[in-house]
Structure 1
């Protein structure tokens, strides 16, 4: 989850809300790729989650990375909660999941090298501590009560609020992991087309990357339980955003939707001020109950933009948010998949032609089907396996047109689509056969 944002000074005109996002527009030669992925730390001696403090702990891993590999510390209330170096960040999810938010890079080849370097550094520090990191969409066995709590004020506020507004919010915070890619746009029109394609094809990504068929120590009936969790979290701030497909959609319409999403907090001088359930529209009028008489800054607006969680999200770039974390090959395949579709105009136009006829109900039906059955899902006669195969062809063509030798990163997805099975299917098969319905082997099997 996001760290406090830097957006700017006081908001003096309502147009500034949309302008902040639009300011991210870049010429094509300046488009970059930012990959983020989360992973669960586990103690090799006990297979339990890693606590924040102690000899074998999250804090010890962060300190080791800081001291051995020249990362700069990020502190909150005196506690070490993250690191940054050369445009990249390492941060903590609520349950101690370690997240790399990569630097903006020019090619998928560079993002893969960044990932490998990160994993090498983490292993050098965590291994001697008796800590390994597994990468899959949901913690397969740990209960909520077993999960550690990270010392971040944002998470304390969100935990209580999510317990009030949905059924799965704390599961998302503490017991899921994702991989996502952040991509640029060139203009408002470019953002609109990319958002529409991103939302319509997010179920394909969910299906291809599904890796969370276990929860609370048993099969959960879904291939991506992580995706199911998002459907029971908080409908005011999640979902497939049907209005994005309306005529006239743009930055202003997106800002208008975000304004109606209830707030979590206001960040001031290192502290999170409780504004849960309050209105950013009231804040603009100086009538926020948490801070009467004060008006927001653009930094407050940038923070609020990070508290909405649709399947694709607009900030100064677009975030693709539908995939479970998975194997190292899958962590590199996710940016390749979307770069191929989004950064070549021919592929983007063809992808839009592929999905522009889908209704809002069909798009939502595919989202549900992807979480339940992955590539075997379908909705209104549209099979996710067929859609995935067509989409992968377009993505490969887009990568080939870029001429940067990135298309090889799609090989793992093409292999899965050829067989019609994904990581979740293989995990379930292992559980039913060689693991003899014992999840103990999953820790090593899914560790990076």
Structure 2
């Protein structure tokens, strides 16, 4: 999320919470595609990270983007931390380590998504290049130590930074040294949400494998193909993971609410102040658990929306569904990730086929698959097959879904073209991470700095 909401509508009962999720339901003709992508900023001269302050820092970059785009600044304690498009709905925000994120506008088709991505990268270059800044599309920072990584001045990140070491060993790595591409998709009803949630949770490890793109840590191979995905295995298991309850009979909005209620909060925001709430769950907050800190505080829908945005399962339910399993990557893959999920979830025939593919997978099997994929990606074995073989079936289903959607661009081409990078991965049998490792061991001769030239936008 680009900025935390301040909707002060009081929560009257637990029913309000499920109704808030249900209010996202839309007829099929109103379904949209919202793509988010993060990237690492670095100085072109020496490949060091970009701090917030300074004449050529992140603040200057944001101020330049504000002047170029005319978007409204997002301010935190007097400092610019992002921009929001007041008309189109898109936003630019900062991740904790300075990762620069576009939260794309809700768009009708993938042609618009790719056009938005290309325009954004061109706009960022226009401001960044005079500052000597470039951007890198990887799933994890390939070179910098945690100590070398800058920290952005966002209030909620201060709370998260203090809390993360209490609940896992990799939370700070997740915050400061990873990048992802995500797509946000709609549902028409509770039943439609359930079908999409089950298909996308089960198949998230397949997406992780196809988009694996984080094989380096602190200048050397880390032994995995998606270190970003591995990091999530020990970040904060109270609020992340494969959420197996989505496969229980009777799963729906209320069951997700029941889970979310018992996850510790991060903060309560009142005015411009973030109050640390990491010692209570949302259920305890509703029961008066914050009265001693803010007397008379009334839990609001805004508090609920903010809490939902601090949950990190492989697929996150808000008033839409967020696919969270993929590493950041080069710009063609920014378009490929939404193409993969739109093809699977926005066509009924494809969704039926995807659900049929996973119908007898057990939650234990899915968890085991998810645990092994960060290391072996497409080579991971599952039920006598490899993920590579399963991915062929899944991408074929997605391709059929996109073809049936028949959304044509001005040249008469449909959306299947955006799966081309994934088709190339299937043809070679090598993930982006493995191709990068081949270059590192070959033409780069072990020089990690070459990645900043080869994988910059």
Question: What band does the TM-score fall into relative to the shorter chain?
Answer: over 0.9
Structure 2 residue 362 is matched with structure 1 residue 359: yes
2: CA distance, partners of 1:412 / 1:2? 28
- The aligned residue for residue 326 of structure 1 is 329
- The aligned residue for residue 139 of structure 2 is 137
- The aligned residue for residue 28 of structure 1 is 28
- The aligned residue for residue 266 of structure 2 is 264
1: CA distance, partners of 2:47 / 2:358? 43
2: CA distance, partners of 1:362 / 1:6? 40
The answer on whether the counterparts of 1:378 and 1:384 sit within 8 Å (CA) in structure 2 is: yes
The answer on whether the counterparts of 1:283 and 1:294 sit within 8 Å (CA) in structure 2 is: no
The answer on whether the counterparts of 2:2 and 2:92 sit within 8 Å (CA) in structure 1 is: no
- The aligned residue for residue 402 of structure 1 is 405
Shift, 1:7, TM fit: 4.5
- More displaced 10-residue stretch of structure 1: 291-300 or 8-17: 291-300
- The aligned residue for residue 434 of structure 1 is 443
CA deviations 1:91-141 (Å, max 9, x no partner) are 000000000000000000000000000000000000111000001100011
2: CA distance, partners of 1:390 / 1:378? 15
The answer on whether the counterparts of 1:139 and 1:176 sit within 8 Å (CA) in structure 2 is: yes
Task: Note the 1:201-216 alignment, pairs <5 A.
Answer: 201-216=203-218
Shift, 1:178, TM fit: 0.2
Structure 2 residue 399 is matched with structure 1 residue 390: no
Q: Structure 1: any 5+ residue segments left out of the alignment?
A: none
Number of equivalent positions:
448
2: CA distance, partners of 1:379 / 1:308? 28
* SS of residue in 2 equivalent to 1:185: coil
Runs of 4+ in 1 over 3 A off after TM superposition: 289-293
* SS of residue in 1 equivalent to 2:214: coil
Task: Note the 1:41-440 alignment, pairs <5 A.
Answer: 41-85=41-85, 86-288=88-290, 289-404=292-407, 405-440=414-449
2: CA distance, partners of 1:102 / 1:2? 10
2: CA distance, partners of 1:331 / 1:167? 29
The answer on whether the counterparts of 1:195 and 1:312 sit within 8 Å (CA) in structure 2 is: yes
* SS of residue in 2 equivalent to 1:66: helix
Shift, 1:8, TM fit: 4.8
The answer on whether the counterparts of 1:2 and 1:306 sit within 8 Å (CA) in structure 2 is: no
Shift, 1:6, TM fit: 4.8
2: CA distance, partners of 1:177 / 1:347? 29
The answer on whether the counterparts of 2:194 and 2:246 sit within 8 Å (CA) in structure 1 is: yes
2: CA distance, partners of 1:261 / 1:247? 22
- More displaced 10-residue stretch of structure 1: 147-156 or 284-293: 284-293
1: CA distance, partners of 2:452 / 2:278? 37
The answer on whether the counterparts of 2:2 and 2:82 sit within 8 Å (CA) in structure 1 is: no
Shift, 1:295, TM fit: 3.1
1: CA distance, partners of 2:282 / 2:296? 13
The answer on whether the counterparts of 2:3 and 2:74 sit within 8 Å (CA) in structure 1 is: no
* SS of residue in 2 equivalent to 1:145: coil
The answer on whether the counterparts of 1:140 and 1:217 sit within 8 Å (CA) in structure 2 is: yes
Shift, 1:287, TM fit: 2.6
Shift, 1:283, TM fit: 1.3
- More displaced 10-residue stretch of structure 1: 168-177 or 365-374: 365-374
Shift, 1:419, TM fit: 1.6
The answer on whether the counterparts of 2:392 and 2:426 sit within 8 Å (CA) in structure 1 is: yes
1: CA distance, partners of 2:115 / 2:391? 26
CA deviations 1:278-329 (Å, max 9, x no partner) are 1211211223254354331010000000111000000000000000010111
The answer on whether the counterparts of 2:37 and 2:103 sit within 8 Å (CA) in structure 1 is: yes
The answer on whether the counterparts of 1:338 and 1:395 sit within 8 Å (CA) in structure 2 is: yes
1: CA distance, partners of 2:2 / 2:252? 24
Shift, 1:46, TM fit: 1.8
2: CA distance, partners of 1:253 / 1:7? 23
2: CA distance, partners of 1:324 / 1:162? 21
The answer on whether the counterparts of 2:215 and 2:224 sit within 8 Å (CA) in structure 1 is: yes
* SS of residue in 1 equivalent to 2:143: coil
Q: Structure 2: any 5+ residue segments left out of the alignment?
A: 408-413
Shift, 1:347, TM fit: 0.3
1: CA distance, partners of 2:227 / 2:25? 35
- The aligned residue for residue 410 of structure 2 is none
Closer, same or farther: CA 381–2 of 1 in aligned 2, 3 Å? farther
TM-score, normalised via structure 2 length: 0.96
Shift, 1:163, TM fit: 1.1
Shift, 1:373, TM fit: 1.1
- More displaced 10-residue stretch of structure 1: 248-257 or 369-378: 369-378
- The aligned residue for residue 18 of structure 1 is 18
* SS of residue in 2 equivalent to 1:39: strand
The answer on whether the counterparts of 1:286 and 1:293 sit within 8 Å (CA) in structure 2 is: no
TM-score, normalised via structure 1 length: 0.98
